Amino acid sequence: IKEAAEGYFGTSPSRLTLGQCAMLAALPNAPSYLDPYENYKGAKARQKLVLAQMVDQGMISQAEADYAYKQELGIE
């Protein structure tokens, strides 16, 4: 996680936003295909799915998910 946080977002894991965490959680499903540098649209779609699952499981609210999805990711 440390390397991914630094590599994609130029930050440490403790400073990741919810949106960035959801993006990282989405990557293991298909890391090459969902690489936000190569397939930003696909990566955002998977991020949205991760956030929706978090809402369904009661981990976050829909408002939090919407906000996280709209935030700039700060891809380095």
Task: Quick: pLDDT tens for 5-41.
Answer: 999 999 999 999 999 999 999 999 888 898 999 999 9
Whole-prediction pTM? 0.89
> CA–CA separation, 43 vs 31, rounded Å?
9
- pLDDT higher at 37 or 66: 66
CA 11/CA 2 separation, integer angstroms: 8
In this model, does residue 45 exceed pLDDT 70?
yes
CATH of domain 2-70: 1.10.3810.10
The rounded mean pLDDT for the chain is 94
